[in-house]
Structure 1
């Protein structure tokens, strides 16, 4: 089952990149598909419209998939993407839930790759005494 779920996600990404058409992507999403990002959620129609609007400005974007992992009905894709025309590299983690052979739900986290080190600062040990910490 997990191999099939990975194949579904791979097929959806390949279809979108090869056809550059949401008409080819739409049948791969369930009718009640929902996409989560930060503080908002999008329905299938809203998300496809956003993808369609991004197709032209993102033409030429390079995508390098580093990991494609599956666990049960979830598939996680970790990729690095270079935006076109010398734009910055971004690191993306997509999580997809598969139901009945279709992508039913998605989550996305995007981080500009150049900011990764600065965004890890919270992880580093705070060497101040507890009284000096905010």
Structure 2
């Protein structure tokens, strides 16, 4: 089951990363799909797909380097590094996907700009004035 779930996520994202095929991605999402970001930000399937379509212009040519894809039960976790062409900004991303009945039912996404990694290593320390 975990191998099959990893395959679902990898196939869903391959078309999007390689060709920008948002409609192909949509086929892998359940009708009641929910996308979560930190805090209380959530989007429905239609809202998230619209956001992905809107982002395709600004992120055209984005490079994606997948470091890890791990699966446990109905969850798949992917750690990747992404950057824009011509020395554009770089981000580290952790996506968590929940699979239900062969479709992606839920996703969580954490994004950290690589330029801010050093500052985020000491987030608990009081600000220096």
- Report if aligned partners of 1:21, 1:52 keep a CA contact under 8 Å in 2: no
- TM-score, normalisation: structure 1: 0.87
Contact 2:30 2:104 in 1 (8 A): yes
Residue 123 of structure 1 deviates from its aligned partner by 6.5
CA distance in 1, matches of 2:29, 2:4: 15
Q: Secondary structure at the match of 2:105?
A: strand
CA drift at 1:87 = 1.5
TM-score by length of 2: 0.91
Separation in structure 1 between the aligned mates of residue 20 and residue 62 of structure 2, nearest angstrom: 12
Other-structure match for 2:2:
2
**Aligned mates of 2:47, 2:59 — CA distance in 1:** 18
Aligned residue in 2 for 1:80: 81
Partner of 2:28: 28
1:15 match: 15
Stretches of 4+ moved more than 4 A in 1? none
| 8 A Cα contact 2:63 2:85, kept in partner | yes
Task: Name stretches of at least 5 consecutive residues in structure 2 with no aligned partner.
Answer: none
Give yes or no for the alignment of 1:60 onto 2:61: yes
Matched residue pairs, number? 125
1:108 is displaced (CA, Å) by: 0.3
